[in-house]
Structure 1
């Protein structure tokens, strides 16, 4: 297996009334998150975000992705560290949003995710296992105030 690049995207899929799509990880049942994924060699961040949305949900992000203009640097969880080069301990996550007109059913990548659900933004933020994901959803909520 080739090592992952320690650069990733987080894509918060939401509706105008701030319903947020969460998907449950297959490798850690009970861990709910937005769409995430590592950049592949030669991809732009927007290309990574489009690819990950398609792979993980079956949705076509088209030109609807919005770069939220910030990134997070975090220590890679121990359970995923083996996916990165031995000297890599941190990942840089770039945050994007994808607004849909209304909640829609999604088609999950069965090897990656077990279930999906749409939740109001506050509940979605509370349900996330990742602090950076929860913070991104809270920022979405703050936009509506």
Structure 2
């Protein structure tokens, strides 16, 4: 059995929202009180961030915004990033000595609330909330801050 490679400390955060600024939150399977937007790391150093974002959205929700899909033009790179300290409980996924991650922010506008298809190994529940309530429900301060930026980027 081959060893799984270390996670790359560069990731995306994708705020999925409706035109009415309702935000989709998903609950982590490994931390029942952790509600969040779609997040995920690059699979390879050279992977373009938009590809990472579209892949993670598809993997975590079943929503297709990959190139050529109907929603592809609705995936928007906000050209913002956060650098934060990786929570100690998840540091073992990264190479020894890696304690910071760079997170790139994206938004995905969907025409209306939709029911995501979750992988129960990763997420156990979902809900749509008005953006301010969604920000309050997030466990991650950087996720909450991104959601609060939504009115600026949804115009």
Whether these two folds match at TM > 0.5 is yes
Q: Tell me how far apart the structure 2 counterparts of residues 144 and 19 of structure 1 sit (CA, whole Å).
A: 11
Does the aligned pair in 2 maintain the 1:33–1:130 contact within 8 Å? yes
- Residue in 2 aligned with 1:43? 47
Q: Tell me how far apart the structure 1 counterparts of residues 105 and 7 of structure 2 sit (CA, whole Å).
A: 18
Does the aligned pair in 1 maintain the 2:19–2:110 contact within 8 Å? yes
- Residue in 2 aligned with 1:138? 148
Q: Tell me how far apart the structure 2 counterparts of residues 86 and 121 of structure 1 sit (CA, whole Å).
A: 37
Q: Tell me how far apart the structure 1 counterparts of residues 120 and 59 of structure 2 sit (CA, whole Å).
A: 10
Q: Tell me how far apart the structure 2 counterparts of residues 101 and 90 of structure 1 sit (CA, whole Å).
A: 35
1:56-135 paired onto structure 2 within 5 Å: 56-62=60-66, 63=72, 64-135=74-145
TM-score, structure 1 as length reference = 0.96
Q: Any stretches of 5+ residues in structure 2 without a counterpart? A: 67-71
Q: CA RMSD in A?
A: 1.3
Give the C-alpha shift of residue 61 in structure 1.
1.2
- Deviation per CA, 1:40-61: give whole Å up to 9, x if none: 1131101100110000000001
TM-score, structure 2 as length reference = 0.90
Does the aligned pair in 2 maintain the 1:122–1:141 contact within 8 Å? no
- Residue in 2 aligned with 1:52? 56
The correspondence for 1:10, drawn from 10, 13, 22, is 13
Structure 1 stretches of at least 4 aligned residues deviating more than 6 Å after TM superposition: none
Tell me the matched-pair count: 145
